């Protein structure tokens, strides 16, 4: 048998194996790794989409939280998992696109070691304050911070997290001095905002919308260029005199690199069908998010673009983790 014939047979066999794996996938439980703690937007979205996929696939989709190191621990777990579609990563731009620039050494490549599979939603962040904050609205708080350098504190889910970088962006845009208070998880920061231990924080809309609605904390502004439909009374930072401020991160599912393309395509198609349902769209709207459906190719390009964009922000902030 000639070499060209052997190559053709190998290619045909590979394509047949890929198609077969997609037809039988999933044949067992799927792990969905969340690289953040429970209670945040990533966890909320994972548990909803995991439940819907479990029903659609007639196989359990088990959500596991592996928090730590700004998302690196859980992300690395998936990067090193077998590329068979049975270990997936549900994450967001603030972890996947930022960590590549944030860490001097990182055990994976945020783009090359993953197969971007399906986007779920985009959602902005609220800039929130607690009942003891020295101002009742965004403009008054910025004025207070300008008159009292270093008097205002803002919490985050850790050094280099998107919550932290948003605070640094706000400081740069407004020219005020605020003190960063890092936490291990955003839920702990929110508890201290409500309790008055810290003044403010940026938090994804889904993770705080219920506390805002109940009056336990106040949403001073939203990070996207336009107001959010879940809370149209909250102004955008961009409309308050800072038109360049626009952050509206994506959430999505990634698989290990080398996962069969047919499996990636099946997950993408099944997630898209779930996202098109009125029930799921209403769920995301209630959380302050917009459904975001893309192809794996579009998702891959967006991830590459976001890694480059956030590298500039990280460099400007001076944030660095070893």
For 136, residues 6+ apart whose C-beta sits below 8 A from its C-beta are: 218
Average pLDDT score over residue span 285-304: 95
pTM, entire model: 0.81
- Same structural domain for residues 172 and 308? no
Asked whether the predicted pLDDT for residue 289 surpasses 60, the reply is yes
Give the pLDDT score at 13.
Answer: 52
- Same structural domain for residues 62 and 161? no
- Same structural domain for residues 16 and 110? yes
- Same structural domain for residues 114 and 257? yes
What per-residue string of b and e applies to 170-179 under the rule 16 or more CB within 10 Å gives b? Answer: bbebbebebe
- Same structural domain for residues 9 and 150? no
- The larger pLDDT score, comparing residue 57 to residue 184, is at 57
- Same structural domain for residues 100 and 36? yes
- Same structural domain for residues 152 and 214? yes
Nearest to 21 by CA among 253, 264, 256, 252: 264
Give the pLDDT score at 5.
Answer: 59
- Same structural domain for residues 200 and 140? yes
- The larger pLDDT score, comparing residue 104 to residue 258, is at 258
Pairing of strands 200-204, 125-129: antiparallel
- Same structural domain for residues 135 and 231? yes
Three-class DSSP category at 315: helix
- Same structural domain for residues 113 and 32? yes
Q: Which of 5-19, 146-160, 293-307 ranks highest by mean pLDDT? A: 293-307
Of 178, 209, 240, the residue that ends a domain is: 240
Report how far residue 93's alpha carbon sits from residue 47's, in angstroms, rounded to the nearest whole number. 18
Residue 86 structural domain: 3-123+249-317
Q: Is residue 52 part of a domain?
A: yes
Kindly report, residue by residue over 78-132, the tens digit of the pLDDT. 999 999 999 999 999 988 999 999 888 899 999 999 999 999 999 999 999 998 8
- Same structural domain for residues 111 and 150? no
Q: What is the mean pLDDT of the chain?
A: 91
Report how far residue 80's alpha carbon sits from residue 78's, in angstroms, rounded to the nearest whole number. 5
Kindly report, residue by residue over 12-42, the tens digit of the pLDDT. 554 544 554 568 999 999 999 999 888 888 9
- Same structural domain for residues 115 and 150? no
**Chain centre to alpha carbon of residue 111:** 15
As given in the structure block, the two tokens for residue 230 are 């879940």
Give the pLDDT score at 20.
Answer: 47
Asked whether the predicted pLDDT for residue 11 surpasses 70, the reply is no
Q: Is residue 322 part of a domain?
A: no
Element at 20 (helix H, strand E): helix 3-24
Report how far residue 88's alpha carbon sits from residue 67's, in angstroms, rounded to the nearest whole number. 15
Q: What is the CATH number of the domain that holds 224?
A: 3.40.190.10
Number of domains the chain contains: 2
Kindly report, residue by residue over 198-244, the tens digit of the pLDDT. 999 999 998 899 999 999 999 999 999 999 988 999 999 999 999 98
Report how far residue 108's alpha carbon sits from residue 256's, in angstroms, rounded to the nearest whole number. 11
Q: Is residue 139 part of a domain?
A: yes
Q: What is the CATH number of the domain that holds 265?
A: 3.40.190.150
Peptide bond into 26 cis (omega under 30): yes
Of 209, 240, 271, the residue that ends a domain is: 240
8 Å CB contact between 28 and 85: no
The 3-state secondary structure of 111-135, one letter per residue: CCCEEEEEEEEECCEEEEECCCCCC
Three-class DSSP category at 271: helix
Sheet harboring 125-129: ordered strands across?
A: 178-182, 152-156, 200-204, 125-129, 218-222
Q: Which residue bears the tokens 């769209």?
A: 281
Q: Is residue 278 part of a domain?
A: yes
């Amino acid at each position: 048998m000639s070499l060209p014939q052997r190559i053709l047979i190998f290619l045909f066999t590979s394509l047949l194996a890929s198609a077969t794996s997609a037809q039988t996938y999933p044949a067992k439980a799927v792990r969905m790794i969340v690289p953040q703690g429970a209670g945040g937007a990533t966890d909320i979205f994972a548990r909803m989409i995991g439940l819907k996929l479990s029903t659609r696939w007639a196989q359990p989709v088990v959500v596991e939280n592996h928090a730590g190191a700004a998302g690196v621990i859980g992300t690395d777990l998936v990067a090193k998992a077998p590329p068979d579609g049975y270990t997936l990563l549900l994450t967001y731009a603030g972890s996947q696109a930022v960590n590549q620039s944030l860490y001097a050494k990182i055990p994976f490549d945020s783009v090359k070691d993953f197969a971007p599979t399906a986007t779920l939603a985009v959602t902005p962040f609220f800039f929130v304050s607690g009942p003891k904050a020295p101002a009742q609205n965004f403009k008054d708080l910025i004025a207070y911070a300008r008159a009292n350098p270093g008097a205002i504190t803002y919490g985050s889910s850790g050094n280099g997290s998107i919550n932290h970088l948003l605070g640094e962006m706000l400081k740069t845009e407004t020219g005020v001095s605020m003190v960063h208070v890092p936490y291990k998880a955003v839920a702990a920061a929110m508890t201290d905002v409500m309790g008055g231990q810290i003044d403010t924080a940026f938090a994804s809309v889904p993770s705080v919308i219920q506390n805002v609605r109940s009056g336990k904390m106040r949403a001073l502004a939203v990070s996207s260029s336009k107001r959010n439909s879940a809370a149209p009374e909250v102004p955008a930072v961009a409309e308050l005199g800072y038109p360049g401020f626009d952050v509206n991160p994506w959430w999505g599912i990634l698989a290990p690199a080398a996962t069969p393309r047919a499996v990636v395509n099946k997950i993408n198609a099944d997630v898209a069908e779930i996202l098109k349902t009125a029930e799921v769209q209403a769920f995301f709207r209630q959380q302050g998010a917009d459904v975001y459906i893309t192809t794996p190719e579009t998702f891959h390009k967006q991830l590459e673009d976001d890694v480059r964009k956030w590298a500039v922000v990280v460099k400007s902030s001076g944030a660095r983790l070893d």
